[in-house]
Structure 1
Amino acid sequence: MNVKWFISIIMTIILISGGILGYFHIKNTIPAQLTAPSKLYLESEVVEKENVPQALKEIIFESQKLVVKIELPDGSFGSGFLYNDKGDVITNAHVVANARDVKVTSADSKELTGEVIGISIDTDIAVVRVPELEGSQPFKLAKTRKAELGDDVIALGSPLGLQNTVTTGIISGVGREFEIDSFKYEDVFQISAPIAPGNSGGPLIDTKTGEVVGINSATMDQGVIGFSIPLVNVIPMIESWSASPMESLPRIGANTTGNSAGETSTNADIAEYLVNYFYESINYRDYVTAYSLLGSSWQSKTAYEDFRAGYLDYLTIEVDDLLTKQNGNKVEVITVITAQERSEKGVSYKKFKVTFELGLENDQMKILSEKRESME
């Protein structure tokens, strides 16, 4: 046999054997190595988001939606706030004293019917059930902790009371005790946030957590010091009424007639509130709420998508001035606004005179029309 042929055959056998061995090496070892993380990717750590407290304005805006006005047949009113998903509203006993059925007005001016399902004759606490609010998201409650001296708080009143609707302050005293008519106030908060007539029954909110820590209940004659019942002290009684409503309600003392909220509102007051609430909603990009304040005629001419698109380029709208006029059965609200608007050229400020007409639709105040004039 030729030597060259012999060498060629030997080299071919070696190459084939090497290929076979290489194949099995790759098959058996490489897949095992692929179970390790690729070094081409940086290992990532799971970082928990910090629980950043809500901004004060955001807490106020979101909280206002859960505060209601409670009105008696004599026209007097107080406040209340939604505390569970059954539609139950906490308020003061003196706000609903000696009444079973009350009118409840929500922040968007819807008039609802409420029934008093629990009331105390000596602690200034009551619960009103509003079936139409069932299923709504309620306030966060501080059921197991009590606010402490120096804590920052917000006192919210009736959304349609307009006078001192929102006040801020601190817990300036604890453990206060006194009596008003038949009610005994024991271990209550003293707060620097003033409480005006009509604010009774509204929530006292911790600005850091957004939780309700108390029920605003009384004020000094001068109006610079308020008092709030700690929620943790009365939550067991409140929850017992929600679980088992009272079949009959006790009569509150002779000196407490249910009108000690001491304030009545007019259509002009409500109209002024609704215009302010309309612009607040726009500023917080809550176009659904703003649209819900419009009358049916305006809504029929303007689809929600078009309404929303008309405000998307406004970063903020500031109400500079506001004048309310009663015009027969309707109310005219004239306001001057400054709008911060973005465009392809950048951000600019524009001033407008806006005239709103408001009126009642199905016993609810609605914004019927808007006329906007540039003041540049």
Structure 2
Amino acid sequence: MRKKVWIGAIGFLLILGSGAVAALAIRSEMPKQLDGRPLLAVGEVKKSLKDIIFETQKLVVMIETDTGEQGSGFLYNTEGDLLTNAHVVAGVRHVKVKTSDARVLDGEVIGIGTDTDVAVVRVKELAGTDPLPLVRYEKGEVGDDVLAVGSPLGLQNTVTTGIISGVNRSFQINPYTYKDLYQISAPIAPGNSGGPLVDLATGAVLGINSAGLEEGTIGFSIPIANVLAMAEGWSRQPMPMLPNLSITEENNKAEDDTSLEQLAGYLVTHFYDSINSRDYVYAYSLLGGSWKEGTSYVNFRKGYLTTRNVVIDDMHVTSSGEEASVTAVISVDERKNGENVLSKYQVTYKVGYENDQLKLLSGKGKVIRK
């Protein structure tokens, strides 16, 4: 059971009321150089979305415990220390850390909050690595463009984009008190916990993604400025003993409530998201072993080079035992004979687990004639 704070609809109604006034606050006129966000140097070109994603992904990791819990974390200093959520590492001292370049490293929990859902994990092998830039003082505002990076449902280094859609959200889920949160429209799922919320204007970390609303694509993120002093204290002086935190069943609800059908549908959607972003290496990694044996990466990539964009028009998912079948109708903007054409296909995928990872085991498609 993966530890992920997931909020029900009734609690969410209370949350909305607590921050409604603050969400309408007038933007501060304080210059950015005085309130913490990094400025562009003279002559420096503003980074593109792809540049920010690439530079962020390199420093975001997947965290796994020996009890099977999973979450995300990101490098925040040059000592090799990761920021994550306390509920990701509660009850353990040592964790496994999977980096974006496929290394598996040992991590030690050196600090963990008892009422604030924040923890620090030290990875000695990462010491000396330049960390992600942090927004130390300024708070994000409603309307700011953001991206969330993490490992939802075990899919490492997944990126979602959105805006800050609310501020000053507060609620209580024992043993943690959540206050002054960002509400974000960037979709998150179990496994995103502990990943960074990044300001698209600067590429700096605004918050730690910590909770989600199970009824929709709404997430909540702890402002980094609120917890940075506490985290830096643990980095300077690690806790000799960790508190024994009790995580309630309400907090652990998400993984059990996520059916194989939902996971399979998410995987197929994520596959096409990767194709649309031209990340063919990652898309290929979602295929099962048997499929890869019959299709080389070179041929796989070649098959999608003329694909400009894919939209899923309709999807139907069924499951039987340990496998699911996903049938979808997709619209594909592709290049054919020197022209851009829009084609429709019906695709069917078999989805199942290989080595505890959900994979696309097989797939087939046919053209839908007009």
TM-score of the superposition, structure 2-length normalised? 0.66
Secondary structure of the structure 2 residue equivalent to 1:249: coil
**Does 2:181 align with 1:168?**
no
1: distance between equivalents of 2:356 and 2:215?
A: 36
**Does 2:253 align with 1:262?**
yes
**Does 2:305 align with 1:308?**
no
Give the drift of 1:80: 2.7
2: distance between equivalents of 1:311 and 1:110?
A: 28
AA in 2 matched with 1:170? I
Secondary structure of the structure 2 residue equivalent to 1:146: coil
1:326-371: CA deviations, max 9, x gaps?
2333222222211111122411111111111222222222222111
- State which structure, 1 or 2, has the greater radius of gyration over its C-alpha atoms: 1
Matched-pair contact (CA < 8 Å) for 1:334–1:354: yes
Partner of 1:331: 324
AA in 1 matched with 2:162? T
* Paired residues for 1:172-191 under 5 Å: 172-174=166-168, 181-185=174-178, 188-191=180-183
Give the drift of 1:98: 2.7
AA in 2 matched with 1:92? N
1:98-154: CA deviations, max 9, x gaps?
3446688999999998764431223221134679x969x998332434224335144
2:224 to 231, 236, 260: 231
Give the drift of 1:300: 2.0
Matched-pair contact (CA < 8 Å) for 2:313–2:331: yes
Give the drift of 1:307: 1.1
* Paired residues for 1:92-107 under 5 Å: 92-100=85-93
Matched-pair contact (CA < 8 Å) for 1:153–1:207: yes
Secondary structure of the structure 2 residue equivalent to 1:98: coil
Consecutive unaligned residues of structure 2, counting only runs of 5 or more, are: 1-41
Bigger relative CO (Cα 8 Å, ≥ 6 apart): 2
* Paired residues for 1:50-65 under 5 Å: 50-54=45-49, 59=53
Matched-pair contact (CA < 8 Å) for 2:167–2:182: yes
Give the drift of 1:90: 3.0
2: distance between equivalents of 1:330 and 1:226?
A: 29
1: distance between equivalents of 2:58 and 2:333?
A: 24
What value does the CA root-mean-square deviation take over the aligned residues? 4.6
What percent of counterpart residues are identical?
40
2:270 to 244, 266, 277: 277
Partner of 1:140: 132
* Paired residues for 1:1-376 under 5 Å: 48=43, 50-54=45-49, 59=53, 66=60, 68=62, 73=67, 79-83=71-75, 89-100=82-93, 116-128=109-121, 140-154=132-146, 156=148, 159-160=152-153, 166=160, 168-170=162-164, 172-174=166-168, 181-185=174-178, 188-191=180-183, 193=185, 198=190, 200-217=193-210, 228-239=221-232, 241=234, 246-252=239-245, 256-257=247-248, 260-264=251-255, 265-376=258-369
Secondary structure of the structure 1 residue equivalent to 2:141: coil
In structure 2, the CA distance between the partners of 1:83 and 1:225, relative to structure 1 (3 Å rule), is same
TM-score of the superposition, structure 1-length normalised? 0.65
1: distance between equivalents of 2:270 and 2:218?
A: 27
Deviates most, 289-298 or 190-199? 190-199
In structure 2, the CA distance between the partners of 1:80 and 1:89, relative to structure 1 (3 Å rule), is farther
1:177-196: CA deviations, max 9, x gaps?
7765454556x344364888
Secondary structure of the structure 1 residue equivalent to 2:152: coil
1: distance between equivalents of 2:267 and 2:103?
A: 11
Give the drift of 1:318: 1.3
Partner of 2:39: none
AA in 1 matched with 2:284? Y
In structure 2, the CA distance between the partners of 1:271 and 1:114, relative to structure 1 (3 Å rule), is farther
1: distance between equivalents of 2:102 and 2:259?
A: 13
